[in-house]
Chain A
Amino acid sequence: MLKIGKPAYEQVRRHGEETYPHECCGVLLGQMDGDSRAVTSIARCGNTRSDSPQNRYNIDPRELVRIQREGRVRGEDIVGFYHSHPDHPARWSQTDLAEAHWIGCSYVITSVEKGKAVLTNSFELAGTDENDKKFVDEKIDVT
Chain B
Amino acid sequence: MPKIQIPTPLRQYAGKEPAVEVKAATVGEALYGLVARHPELRRHLYTDDGKLRAFVNVYLNDEDVRYLQKEATAVKETDSISIVPSIAGGSAQR
Contact = CB atoms under 8 A, between A and B. Distances in A.
B49 interface: no
A89 B53 CA distance: 31
Interface string B22-50: 00000000000000000000011000000
A81 interface: yes
Chain A facing B: main interface SS? mixed
Contacts of A52: 90, 92
A87 B86 CA distance: 25
Nearest to A92: B89
B89 A61 contact: no
A12 interface: no
Contacts of B64: 61-62
Nearest to A72: B18
Nearest to A125: B9
A32 B6 CA distance: 14
Contact of B85 (A23, A55, A83, A102): A102
Contacts of A25: 87
B94 A62 contact: no
Interface in A89-119: 92-105, 107
A129 B82 contact: no
B73 interface: no
A104 B9 contact: yes
A107 B9 CA distance: 13
Interface of B: 5, 7-9, 12, 18, 43-44, 53, 55, 57, 59, 62, 64, 80, 82, 84-94
Interface of A: 23, 25, 27, 32, 49, 52, 55-59, 61-62, 64-66, 68-69, 72, 77-79, 81, 83, 85-86, 88, 92-105, 107, 129-130
